[in-house]
Chain A
């Protein structure tokens, strides 16, 4: 260990620039990952905190299968009659919009309770008469009242409630950062779309009651269509988990790039000190010491990078949590806080060390296995593979990358309904991403060997520069790959994000354009928001002379043991036509046969196929339904069950619609219909959206959804560009002696500097081309895999500006990376450079 401290760790201190470059790469890579892990921890903690605040002393909760309004209120007496129940507190819970006079909106949690809630939360002087005595009055936190101001409103399914009707309750400031309002149970049922329904019933057992036995007794009392479980939240979690998983998936790329730089750093560093290592071997260091020393050196760099990355992760986490919270609050009403827990930080540090050590294993093993005698005698043969062999390897890796695309296509085909398909798709994507960039690493020098035959490259600094690059294929491959990774990441993520937005655009464009959507809500992810248009308003729309039909859009997400997590939505047969993968060819035909349509995610995870039956739990019982078709409905990541409106009402009750599709009478255009509805001024929150307006909103919503990905893309570009710059700097340092020799044999300092810059320019051009190709191929594989995460098939469409933008940025960094070596080269003293010691 003493020797390792002298040989390896002391060297880190002696050569701080090189160490700093490797540390920066690992720090940048691990900070992305730590940021996403903090994101996940924040999500979990915020949810847990909300659940704990809401549950109080309750140990069990009864809820129905139909989402927020899924429990029929008739079960309450049966629950209260079960022996061992001390308190059965009915709850109505929803998300509503709070709006200031200036029009600023915030999604908040809304609760409806009766005074039995004191049995759950403890006594606070609740008076049932007071709660119900002032219809429309509500409790709010002081923080929310302050934010809303004197003229703020809370929007409900029954219209706007002025803040003047609110009375502040201090205890609410401690819940969900104060973003909460409370109603009497009966008001909440009326205002929050819970007609005859509850969200759940919280159960506090009698002291000494066997909770497991009580649970069984409750389950018996409420019937199999309802559930008794530990207190929890309803819906939304899976969506967030999918988002975090995707972020995690992408951030691993960042760490891989950091690992590549550590590999480059260690490989170049060990190459540079081969003779030193040979001397150490000659005077008695066993191969194991050389191996261990190198790995400990890498671990030290990884440790430092991991610690810095953990700190950076906290900074990265804030915008990520903010973006996630913005998407999630409209589903759950829960505001996410950044929770920095030790585990993600520790994971970041450990990952930094592990990544760094793993990246150094190859170079360390080669160093330990060197021929000491040959190295000391200057006869060591470099571990260079011939250009022809590297070319063959590049072709082989290229073929594997294309095979990966084929696998991703097989895994994605036909909606990826078969359970084996995601595995095949992921393997295909991984093969493509890995092999495409390996092909770049091996193919760079052979490509230049072909290029250098061009007549205009046979003279001057360009000839020397390209010959030098061809003659050092390993080093050239390393530099080109560093840049190609940066450009490739830019091309990949830039196009994937654009594809998702384009896919959403295509999806919304499938709606027929002969009518308008009338709603009071944002158009995406607002199924849980109880700030919908009041039934009276919709009736008023229906009564307009220009209106022919009004088709409501109903839906919810829930969970039940019979089917797991699921979502149900009504489908207007005339409205959308997602591609049908299997089964009956149209919605009309499916509904005509009294069947349902399901999304690909549900088909895959539940193994359902056309003709299969499954149990669909309703508010008053379980109904067996038949799958008529599996289609590419992207809503709720492909977990939706589409049923006719009448069936929905039958199973889950008539609920306020989050939006209605309005079609005009004959002879009236969509534009005229739109103008007539808005001119009627039926409700201050009513919005009539033509198809183009609806599409634009969907697109904006999806764009905000991919905000974290853009943030990650920029973060990864920074990581990649650090890698490019540092690799070039390291190479410049390594070639000092070679440059000294060229000066000694008569090359002018200016020519030498030019040669270094020309080399950088060549690396820049080749790296951009290679990165575009490798990133493009990986992009194809990724859009084939992305429906497995998002449920949405993203169309292919290559953005030709991406390579130019990212290649241009990359080239600037490459030239910056080469500028210092070029400047130093021009001032090099050949005598000093050629000295051995």
Chain B
């Protein structure tokens, strides 16, 4: 993997949006039946903007994030991230886009169990070819920002749920992305810890002027966003 692999991608188009979804349709087969999850979803997120997406279970919130993150190619519609149209990118180019422009935070943290916290956080940089020392130093900086400096050498199995999610937030922010996509980041935490983690996430993205798309059931969490959108019948309102 080299840094120049996405250099040919048009970065001027939609330069004002951190993330844009236009007329996105997507669905899947289940037990022989076609289920349309997204039916012309539109979303525009400006740099530094916090957007919450709420909806019932099974409404397609996670699918929306996977489409936005280039993990899933929509059946129809456009997805533009950091000015780059995702549909035209090859799998390798999408991977480069994800590690440089997008940060993911998952409900179940998803840290790699055999790597210590520092290396988990540094991983997107290492995947991008950064020197190990530099990547680890940058990871230490972000870990300090999320209050986990003293846990950098620990394995994930030695951390609490709140600490794991802080580490996951640090990993999402380490490559200074244009947008962070957070899928129920407090869904697996108790109320107190959830509030702390949400405070941290919001503070960090505000501080770094990173856009955040927050998928959540929690109306209190959604209230912290600049805008709240409802995913209903496959469209965002």
Contacts and interface: CB of A to CB of B under 8 A. Distances in A.
Interface of A: 2-3, 6-7, 10-11, 14-15, 275-276, 279-289, 372-373, 376-377, 835-837
Given A284-B124, A286-B1, A836 B98 contact: no
Interface stretch (B41-49, B110-118, B190-198, B222-230): B110-118
B62 interface: yes
6 contacts: A279-B110, A283-B171, A284-B124, A285-B99, A373-B63, A837-B111
A281 B132 CA distance: 19
Contacts of B69: 282
A284 B71 CA distance: 10
B95 interface: yes
A285 B106 CA distance: 17
B99 A284 contact: yes
Interface string B86-116: 0000011001111110001010111111110
A3 B127 contact: yes
A284 B128 contact: yes
Given A286-B95, A837-B164, A373 B71 contact: yes
Contacts of A835: 157
Interface string B106-141: 101111111100010001101111111001000000
A300 B104 CA distance: 31
B112 A279 contact: yes
A466 to B, nearest CB: 27
B132 A286 contact: no
Contact of B115 (A6, A287, A372, A376): A6
Contacts of B131: 2
Q: Which secondary structure characterizes the binding site on chain A?
A: helix
A287 B112 contact: no
Given A286-B1, A373-B72, A280 B112 contact: yes
A828 to B, nearest CB: 16
Of residues B92, B99, B126, which shows the largest number of chain A Cβ atoms within 10 Å of its Cβ? B126
A284 B100 contact: yes
A2 B132 contact: yes
Contacts of A372: 71
Nearest to A284: B99
Q: How large is the interface on B (under 10, 10 to 19, 20 to 34, 35 or more residues)?
A: 35 or more
B156 A283 contact: no
B66 interface: yes
Contacts of A280: 112, 123, 127
A289 B1 CA distance: 8
A835 B72 CA distance: 27
Nearest to B67: A373
Nearest to A285: B127
A289 B71 CA distance: 16
Given A11-B114, A288-B92, A376-B110, A6 B72 contact: no
A575 to B, nearest CB: 73
A835 to B, nearest CB: 8
Nearest to B135: A2
B106 to A, nearest CB: 7
Contacts of B62: 377
Given A289-B1, A376-B106, A377-B62, A283 B99 contact: yes
A373 B98 contact: no
Contacts of B91: 286-287
Closest 8 CB pairs of A and B: A284-B99, A286-B95, A373-B66, A373-B71, A286-B92, A279-B110, A14-B114, A284-B98
Interface in B179-200: none
B109 A281 contact: no
Nearest to B175: A284
Interface string B47-72: 00000000000000011001001011
Contacts of B1: 286, 288-289
* Residue of A10, A15, A275, A837 most packed against chain B (CB within 10 A): A837
Contact of A275 (B110, B124, B156, B171): B110
A282 B98 contact: yes
Contact of B127 (A14, A276, A284): A284
B98 A276 contact: no
Contacts of A284: 95-100, 124, 127-128, 175
Nearest to B158: A837
B119 A6 contact: yes
Contacts of B95: 281, 284-287, 289
Contact of A3 (B104, B123, B156, B159): B123
A284 B123 CA distance: 9
A289 B96 CA distance: 12
